[in-house]
Amino acid sequence: GDLRIAELGGDPEVAVLSGGPSGVIMEAMLADLSLDLHIFPMAGAVRIAFMVYEEETHLEYRFVPEGPLVSEAEIVPICNLIQTERAGYVVASGSLPRGAPVDTYARMAQLTAASGGRFVLDASGEPLAAAIAGGGIFLFKPSLSELEKLAGHSLDLPAATAFAGDLVRRGVVHHVALTLGAEGALLVGPDETFRMPAIEVPVRSAVGAGDSFVGAMVWALSKGESMHEAFRFGVAAGAAAVMSPGTELCCRADILSLYGQTCAASHEAPAAVLLARA
């Protein structure tokens, strides 16, 4: 997500755990991007995940190793950074490393709120459940399968909308941005539900679509855009990401072009995408 913010012209601070030869490679790659980096050492080596695209079937295979075991002491500096930096937005994305306390994201959400910031979460499983139980989440970005795991059962669109709305009404999250793949995306907030259809683009890879969605939303919000406009930027960035092959980043020009399409679509059929909640 941070890389997409930088691609759009933002200036994110990036906190990473790094160790081993693969960590050295990662640090060099990040340094080339001129990001504001906070690198914290860990004993284990950074895991290397890779993707294989089969040209004949157009199937995509992702290989994600288990990753290193970390100690709670290695997580503490990142939590301390949240307290000292007092960022406007703190984004936590992906799975926790093995050994990290299951309530790590919950603690980060509370620290962010206490520092006057807004916590954005894109996660799943037990760390997500712990964070939801703790509350204090400004924006939660699940896929449908991640929301189903949180609910404990399958969800059709009306049920998913109701479940997301319940999270908002209970006050544990302020907004839910639910990504639905080819069905588009759904934004659930305190007063209304806003749905955007998917943008038709040539699909080359789904890698990074969720990260791009979150990064573009946070970038737009940090620039003072409304939640609706930020959501449109998220939909546009997610579509731009699937146009890029492999692990390549989506580009700013594609995001801005597709954002224009989302605005045109909503102006053509507003009743189909905006539903006020009673």
Helix (H) or strand (E) holding 137: strand 137-140
Domain for residue 139, yes or no? yes
Residue 137, beta-bridge partner list: 173
CA distance 116 to 90: 11
Task: Tell me phi and psi for residue 34, to 5 degrees.
Answer: 55, 45
Domain for residue 211, yes or no? yes
Domain for residue 73, yes or no? no
Contact between 240 and 259 (Cβ < 8 Å): no
Domain total of the chain: 1
pLDDT of residue 261: 82
pLDDT of residue 198: 87
CATH number assigned to the domain comprising residue 187: 3.40.1190.20
Domain for residue 216, yes or no? yes
CA distance 219 to 174: 18
Domain for residue 55, yes or no? no
pLDDT of residue 89: 95
Contact between 232 and 206 (Cβ < 8 Å): no
pLDDT of residue 80: 96
Domain for residue 244, yes or no? yes
pTM for this entry: 0.89
CA angle 207, 81, 13 (to 5 degrees): 45
CA distances from 96 to 79, 105, 127, 209, 251 (A): 14, 9, 7, 19, 28
Q: Which amino acid is at 51?
A: M
pLDDT of residue 57: 87
> Which residue ranges of the chain lie beneath pLDDT 50?
267-278
pLDDT of residue 6: 63
Residues annotated as catalytic (active site), given as ranges = 211
In terms of Cβ atoms closer than 10 Å to its own Cβ (0-12, 13-18, 19+), residue 40 is middle
The whole domain housing 127 covers 2-9+87-276
